[in-house]
Amino acid sequence: MASCWLSLVIQGACFLNLAAQDLSVRASVSETTIGVEETLTYTLEISGQSIPEIPSPSAPETDGLVLTNRFPFTSQNMSITNGRVQQSTGFSWTYKPVREGTARFEAVEIEIGGKAYRADAINVTVVAQAQRPPRAQRRNPFLIDPFGRQQPPPQEDAQISDRDMFIRASPSKRQAYQNEQLTIEYALFFRSGIQLRQSRLADSWDAEGFWREELEIESRPIPKTVVVDGLRYNTIILKRVAVFPTRTGELRIDPLRIESEASLPFGSGDPFFSLRNRYQPVRLASPAITIDVKPWPGNPPTSFAGAVGNFTIDANVDRTRLDVGESVQVTARIRGSGNIATLEAPAFRPPGVFEAYDPEIATSVNRSGSSVRGTKTFSYVLVPRANGNFEIPGIDFSFLEPSSGEYRTIRSNPAPIVVTGTAGEAAIVATTSTGLPIDDIAPLKLDDVVWTAADRTPIHRQPWAYVFGALPLLGLLGIALWQRHSTKLATDLKFARNRRAHPLARKHLKRAEQLLASDDLAAFYEETERAVLGFVGNRLNIAEIGLTRNQLVMRLRDVGIPDDTLSALTTLLEECDRARFAPSAPTGMTPEDAHTTAASLIVSIDQSVANHRAVST
């Protein structure tokens, strides 16, 4: 019996200890700047998965403030997020300033389950009452007056300030190498009690000079409670994106702008029946971000092709024994964190006895979490032309490791190959019905031969003979023209982009039509935007991805694009952005209208550019 009681006591002590391990203690105030005639609320919150019984703590020591209620108001809250229970207990006191200047709440220490916790000190600025604008008086979520004392009547025309709501942009670093991955997280902070609705992107977000990869975030985020500069906020993630600088120097990332409707709660004095909301439009913007992009260090290895990050490589063959003329597939996989999409195929030099074909490339990108990771696969097909024992050499891959600033070269393991059999034998020489060999020189005829005149026109008088004689010359002329065309495609970027503008646009529009049929609207709008912008970039030989909307419109106006076409183009691009990034579906035009508009815009832009060039020449 005694051992049973001892076990229960030990289990209870262990439970209390575990309950105290995941606790956090935070202090916050209702305002950090108040008038000399106003009051403010100081709240001490204890939160965790399991909260043991907590004795009522003492009010914090203050300087320049006087306590108006001796006993704290207590509240408890519980939330369930993804099956995880979170509890919180709050203790609130009301204070009034003594004088103008800086007032201070000293740090608070509280002991829970035998472990000490500390909440930091908070400074409050007290100003003359005339300097304070009228504001709606919020109810403290932890403050319920059991004696029914009414709070002062609110100001209904109060405006939401920058301290009530703001967007914080948090880059993972401010200095990076060219093509190094950076993660930027945009978080919305709003004060407790503020309600939001109809939130949407106010403008297209752009990062000129960066390759961008959108990272996955929760489609229906649950706000988290944080304390910033002593004030309590709810926060949600608006956008998380991985960017890769494509050039060196100081690059600027545009602010993220949103439009929403927000309300401040206010009421008369009845905490249950007088609460009502008035929504007002708000427009928020994050600060712009400047990134200092460094060039790559000197003396890169010969196998370095611009990869920056952390990678591994492995390679394997699908068979180790084969006959001459059969094929073997060598598969190289590069895995890691970095710009997987732009990785180039590593140099691969098999033995000369193997005939090698261009690799097939497959890319798998993981955009969950806080960085881009993935795998890029290169599959080479080799055909041996002779037998023997050979070794497929390892494949070298070099990259720049950002943490150390040094180049790393990794190599896959070689693979032995055994080739058996022989090359195909020459075909048996056949003969004609007269016994003469085919494709060979006939022997001399020693018998007497009687020659007779042929009753037909000589070959030199036949017109077809001259036609056939000219065919080799025409063939050589065609080959020369084709080589000239190929050389121009390889060396003249403007000519090459102009030639492939129409085929690529048709390809993207057809792909967009397939995505629309499969009801994948986000991918449809992305493919539609890619068709229009890609055509503009190829037709005009400009970097359309690196231009802002205003810069794009100016470039198109310079080549004679009419204003109605530019207006339709801007409307279509904005519709695509809203469809891809806004939480609600676009209402400006249907997907079918967007597809039709994109096709007509391509035709209009092409005609306008052709007319402008004809006038210029």
User: pLDDT tens digits, residue range 63-74?
Assistant: 888 888 777 877
pLDDT for 240 beyond 90: yes
Q: Which of 402, 420, 438 lies at the terminal end of a domain, its last residue?
A: 420
Same domain, 590 and 516: yes
Question: CB 193: neighbour CB atoms within 10 A?
Answer: 19
Regarding whether 127 and 76 lie in a shared domain, the answer is yes
Could you tell me the residue range of the domain that residue 49 belongs to? 16-131
SS3 sequence of 292-361? EEECCCCCCCCCEEEEEEEEEEEEEECCCEEECCCCEEEEEEEEEEECHHHCCCCCCCCCCCEEECCCEE
| 124 domain-assigned | yes
Q: Do 281 and 316 belong to one domain?
A: no
- 173 lies in the same domain as 127: no
Residues 36 and 70 in one domain: yes
Q: Please tell me the least confidently modeled range out of 14-18, 114-118, 240-244, 474-478.
A: 14-18
Please report the pLDDT score of residue 445 as a whole number: 67
Query: Does residue 75 sit in the same domain as residue 176?
Result: no
- 260 with 200: CB under 8 angstroms? yes
* pLDDT tens per residue across span 83-133: 667 778 888 888 889 888 888 888 888 888 778 888 888 898 888 887 776
pLDDT of residue 441: 66
What CA–CA distance (Å, rounded) separates 294 from 291? Answer: 10
Residue 396: inside a domain: yes
Asked whether residue 151 carries a pLDDT value surpassing 70, the answer given is no
At residue 567, the pLDDT reads: 87
Quick check: 505 and 575 in contact, CB under 8 A?
Answer: no
Note whether residue 143 is domain-resident. no
Burial of 72 (0-12, 13-18, 19+ CB in 10 A): buried
User: 396 and 319, same structural domain?
Assistant: yes
Residue 252, sorted as left (phi over 0), alpha (psi -120 to 50) or beta, turns out to be beta
Distance CA 172, CA 166 (A): 19
pLDDT of residue 584: 59
Check residue 20 and give its pLDDT.
44
Q: Is residue 442 part of a domain?
A: no
Of 261-265, 350-354, 486-490, the least confident: 486-490
CATH of the domain at 62: 2.60.40.10
Q: How confident is the model at residue 180 (pLDDT cuts 50, 70, 90)?
A: very high
> Do residues 409 and 519 both lie within one domain?
no
Tokens of 467: 């036609």
Of 540, 543, 547, 549, the C-alpha closest to 567 is: 549
Q: What is the CATH number of the domain that holds 214?
A: 2.60.40
Q: To 10 degrees, the CA torsion angle through 528, 531, 536, 538?
A: 160
Residue 40: inside a domain: yes
Q: Give the sign of the dihedral formed by CA 134, CA 138, CA 144, CA 148.
A: positive
- Is residue 246 a part of any domain in this protein? yes
What average pLDDT does the segment 505-520 reach? 88
HEC-encoded secondary structure of 122-167:
EEEEEECHHHCCCCCCCCCCCCCCCCCCCCCCCCCCCCCCCCCEEE
* 57 pLDDT above the threshold of 80: yes
Q: What is the DSSP letter of 439?
A: T
Residue 586 has pLDDT above 70, yes or no: no
Residues 250 and 178 in one domain: yes
How many structural domains are present in the chain?
4
Among 76, 12, 78, 87, CA closest to 51: 87
Distance CA 246, CA 296 (A): 12
Which is higher by pLDDT, 59 or 583? 59
443 pLDDT above the threshold of 70: no
Please tell me the predicted confidence (pLDDT) of residue 7.
Answer: 42
Gap between the Cα atoms of 213 and 338, Å rounded: 11
Chain-wide mean pLDDT for the chain?
81
Residues 286 and 317 in one domain: no
172, 277: one domain: yes
Whether 247 is covered by a domain: the verdict is yes
Phi, psi of 147 (to 5 degrees): -95, 5
Residue 510, phi then psi, degrees to nearest 5? -65, -40
The band of 464, judged by pLDDT with boundaries at 50, 70 and 90, is confident
Cα 540 to chain centroid, rounded: 27
| pLDDT confidence of residue 291 | 94
With 0.85 as the threshold, say if the pTM is over it: no
One DSSP character per residue, 452-511 reads ---SS--GGG-HHHHHHHHHHHHHHHHHHHHHHHHHHHHH-HHHHHHHHHHHHHHHHHHH
Is the C-alpha dihedral spanning 318, 320, 323, 325 positive or negative?
positive
485 belongs to a structural domain: no
- Listing DSSP states for 540-606 in one string gives HT--GGGS-HHHHHHHHHHTT--HHHHHHHHHHHHHHHHHHHSSS---SS-HHHHHHHHHHHHHHHH
